[in-house]
Structure 1
């Protein structure tokens, strides 16, 4: 199971980086979203979730941990809200650039104009 989650995180990260390096704004937005999803899954996986355990301590003096750590879950919820807001801002910026320029390609500078 750990190998499957690690492979999914690696695949999402690789696809996100690949899309961020494209010369169009829409793939860049998708790549940023994939990277944020990969980070969220990574944060969630670091919590070492215990199945059928409450997110709080059952007994104050228990020798074995019989609970799930709630901190990674709270971090993921916060990261989801932040990434949603960031994605909305980037979409609005790219939409404004598309309306202004009439094209969604990313201009690299004067050396690209000569080709």
Structure 2
């Protein structure tokens, strides 16, 4: 039993990170804290995909075709699939770009409303609607 838990310890860490990120998004009204929570949640998803794609005993799929003939390749060899790692690398780049856009929006919201708290922004919007008579 203990061995099975030790083998799957990374999944427990991933679940804890997901819950921390989700809690940070839901429980706080601060926009920067929400972006940090989204980043934590995103990182846990990256770790999940990388953990699932790990092939134990798998070799990197790198062949030297100059020295090898196709008839000498071992058909029973186990190779790791590089596709999940490439996709996660792309997702990391997209995540950093999205986070930077989100932080830029938070800066702009701070300039316009004077706060980055949800309650304050909602009150300012409500008072604007009352002034316009909507």
Question: What TM-score comes out, normalization by structure 1 length?
Answer: 0.82
Partner of 1:101: 113
CA contact (8 A) 1:50 1:67 kept: no
Q: In structure 1, which of residues 46, 50, 56 is the aligned counterpart of residue 52 of structure 2?
A: 46
In 1: Cα distance, 2:38 partner to 2:50 partner: 18
CA contact (8 A) 1:47 1:72 kept: yes
Q: In structure 2, which of residues 12, 16, 25 is the aligned counterpart of residue 11 of structure 1?
A: 16
Structure with the greater alpha carbon radius of gyration: 2
Deviates more, 1:26-35 or 1:46-55: 46-55
Structure 1's 57 and 67: CA in aligned 2 closer, same or farther, altered over 3 A?
farther
Structure 1's 95 and 109: CA in aligned 2 closer, same or farther, altered over 3 A?
closer
Partner of 1:20: 25
**Shift in Å at residue 66 of structure 1?**
2.4
The alignment yields a C-alpha RMSD, in angstroms, of 2.4
| Structure with the higher fraction of residues in helix conformation | 2
In 2: Cα distance, 1:94 partner to 1:8 partner: 30
Q: In structure 2, which of residues 104, 108, 118 is the aligned counterpart of residue 92 of structure 1?
A: 104
**Shift in Å at residue 67 of structure 1?**
1.3
In 2: Cα distance, 1:4 partner to 1:81 partner: 27
| Structure 2, unaligned runs of 5 or more | 1-5, 127-134
Deviation per residue, 1:50-102 (Å, 9 max, x gap): 45722346886533242111011111101101101110111111111112111
